[in-house]
Amino acid sequence: MLVPREEIANAAGQQPAAVSFGELALPLPYKCLLLVTAGVWLWYLNLRVCYACKIDTVQVLKLSGTDNLRLVRESLNVAYKVSFMNLLNYSVYLLFVSNERYFTGLEYLPLLGILLTFGTLVWPSGTQSPGGKRFFETVRRICVGNIDIPHRNNDILLADTFTSYTKVLVDFLVYVTALALGYQTLPSPNIKQELTKDHLKIYNLDILLSMYPSLIRLKQCLHEYEQSRRRNKQHLLNAIKYSSAFLPLFANILIRSNMTGLGIWYLAVFINSCYTFFWDVHYDWNFELFMRFLSNKGGLPLLRHKLVYTSTFYYLAIFIDLQLRFVWVYRLLYADLLPYKEYSFVATILSSLYVNETGNFVLEILEIFRRWVWVFLKIETEYLKSATELDLELQSM
């Protein structure tokens, strides 16, 4: 039965509360849905650009039964399906909320959208889709921290992308647990029960969940280190890199317990940012930028000898990675500006980072964008590695 929301408010003895347009137009559950949909489109763009640049993504991911053009078309088809379903879902929400109508099932609309999105990704062409079966097996494997060594690029790309969706994962848990606890998860113009993370902060569940994606990669790195009979130290160093992601999280726990101030958090995030930025540039993208200066070898190129994209793109990618790995610096520089209205919109947004839901949403967008740029160079790097190995095999034959 459909009833006006103000009747629900009056029956509960509540006073109608004003809701901001931003919260009304894009509540927390639909932010999750939007970012997942954006990720599907960004992956399609990754594949489309790689195909245009003659990078063999099928070879990098070791996919069977397909080719690069077919992979691009299938990804575009999935993006259309996901977008259509989620746009329809969101339109239903807007239809009811704009007419100030409410029914209990409305709260489950975003959950339905997320489940349908996951189902479309796993079974893009039905339950018998070979690509869908492989995607499902990959998800199931990485969820417990395992890695298929022959298909390691496939597993690493997905697991690393998962780390960039950490905040989205926490927001999704906030939404699902709120549903389970009977909280209102969607706002309306006449009644508002704000959806916050307070019910997860009691036992620091939001922080513990934030550790999960990094724990997956940590376990994978340690597994590869053991597989190399502890000879390949790069896997061990990579494991330490993912361990450094826990430092800011532990600092947050200490801050919540009033055991320390923000200084320890800034130190922790500085260590993590330095380590991860160096790793992105030197190991993931194989650039010689740092080695050229640290080893005093002037003959080394700033990037590398083999490049597929234009040089401008590589320098832009390094700059973007640097800016977004150290985005927390802007929170430090633009601290305490939120109460003042005379500052610019950009300054206000930068001041809100790590402070409120608007700032957290901006951080989610920036991190997903950073990962999108990272994927271009990661696929290209692995393709050049495999091409070099193939050339060596042909020469030996």
CA distances from 301 to 268, 287, 374 (A): 32, 8, 20
Query: Over the chain, what is the mean pLDDT?
Result: 86
Residue 364 counted as domain residue: no
Residue 92 counted as domain residue: yes
241 vs 20, residue with greater confidence: 241
Contact indicator for 76, 44 with CB cutoff of 8 Å: yes
Over the stretch 122-175, which tens digit does the pLDDT of each residue have? Answer: 887 665 566 667 888 889 999 999 999 989 999 999 999 999 999 999 999 999
Question: pTM, whole model, 2 decimals?
Answer: 0.90
Instruction: State how far the Cα of 73 lies from the Cα of 70, in Å rounded to an integer.
Output: 5
Radius of gyration of the chain (CA): 23
Residue 174 counted as domain residue: yes
Q: Which two tokens stand for residue 98?
A: 């704009």
Please give the tally of structural domains in the chain. 1
Residue 161 counted as domain residue: yes
Over the stretch 350-368, which tens digit does the pLDDT of each residue have? Answer: 778 888 888 899 999 999 9
Q: Which two tokens stand for residue 87?
A: 């746009």
Residue 87 counted as domain residue: yes
Contact indicator for 179, 185 with CB cutoff of 8 Å: yes
pLDDT of residue 226: 95
Over the stretch 283-311, which tens digit does the pLDDT of each residue have? Answer: 999 999 998 888 777 678 899 999 999 99
Residue 68 counted as domain residue: yes
Residue 178 counted as domain residue: yes
Instruction: State how far the Cα of 323 lies from the Cα of 372, in Å rounded to an integer.
Output: 15
Which residues span the domain enclosing 55? Answer: 18-197
Rounded to 5°, the CA angle 389-390-392 comes to: 65
Rounded to 5°, the CA angle 25-27-33 comes to: 100
